[in-house]
Amino acid sequence: MKSEAPTQHAHHAWEKASRLAPPPKPPQLHFCMPAMPSMRLIRAVDMGWWHCRRRWLFRRHIVPLLACDDQLLRDIGHCREDILWANQLPLKVDALQALKARQKTGYVLQS
């Protein structure tokens, strides 16, 4: 945030947090070695790690935007309540996708 405007920094933080793609599905093998774990177990561990990493990126890049003023958050299309709501979601729910879906539906938090 040294030389860029706060709005540009916020967009950059959002893009950086959105970059992590889900891991590819493991290949379907036609044989199984005796000591080889099941592909479902490998996929579950892989996706669990991906969800943890994605939430870590969310907390690293998006949650610090709460320090910005409400006008800046409105400029990037979110509000403070939405970010706090997404931060409280369960780990298996992708917070970035939930925020995008909430933004598309125009859901307004009633106080």
pLDDT band of 75, cuts 50, 70, 90 = confident
Q: What is the pLDDT of residue 110?
A: 43
- Mean pLDDT over residues 54-64, rounded? 86
- Mean pLDDT over residues 56-79, rounded? 84
For the full predicted model, state whether its pTM sits above 0.75. no
Q: What is the pLDDT of residues 25-49, one digit of tens each?
A: 877 777 767 777 888 888 899 999 9
Nearest C-alpha neighbor of 66 from the set 83, 86, 85, 53: 83
pLDDT band of 111, cuts 50, 70, 90 = very low
- Mean pLDDT over residues 74-92, rounded? 87
What 8-state DSSP symbol labels residue 67? G
> What SS3 state is found at 110?
coil
Q: What angle do CA 72, 52, 18 make, to 5 degrees?
A: 40
